[in-house]
Structure 1
Amino acid sequence: MDHVAHLRQSIDELRAAISDSTLPDALKVYLLSILRDMERALDEYQVFGFDEVANQFGKLLMTIASVREVVDSTENSSIWEKLSRIAELISIVQFGISYGPALLQSAAQLLNP
């Protein structure tokens, strides 16, 4: 499974964690709408680039951080774990998009002098 597929799976897991959480309903609806926007950006990243995926994640993270005391309760602790995994995957995908082609070209040059 590639990193984008892992990212999609992690988004699904975060969606389930938010839906099952004890967060206020209005906050759940808002967070889930950001996740939908993030998925839409992920669907279109090959056309428009990966920046919008990262922007939507930043929006999600800032929203959750702004209501940290609500999210920090024991019942909602898995949300932070899932956010951390998504952040890790976004970093990996962005690195691959930004530097992957150059790294592959450099490796090819080293292997085929």
Structure 2
Amino acid sequence: MRLKDKIAIVVGGGQQSGETIGNGRATALRFAQEGATVLVVDYDEASAADTLKMITDVGGKGSTLQADVRKEDDCRAIATTCADRYGRIDVLHNNVGRSRGDKPTTELE
């Protein structure tokens, strides 16, 4: 258990609809399997809750937080909430990203 007793935040830890588990959810699950307590942060609160259920189903620990990382106040709230709940932050994994447009990145200006 490489992350035993560590506190990890996974931003983007939910998953949008699709056929795969998603990188954020997979990361949150793996961190929990490695012993971390995971704060699952996502814009979609229900999706974060689904991830937390998967974590607890495999014996892991954690909680959720709804946040919009496009807002500075929400970003501050992520850190504050984690520190208030768990006393510290050991790992921060940002899995949030958005593409711009419908072209390959090599064609964007």
Fold match (TM-score > 0.5): no
Larger radius of gyration: 1
TM-score (norm 2): 0.32
TM-score (norm 1): 0.31
User: Looking at both structures, which has the greater relative contact order when contacts are Cα pairs under 8 Å and sequence separation is at least 6?
Assistant: 1
Higher strand share: 2
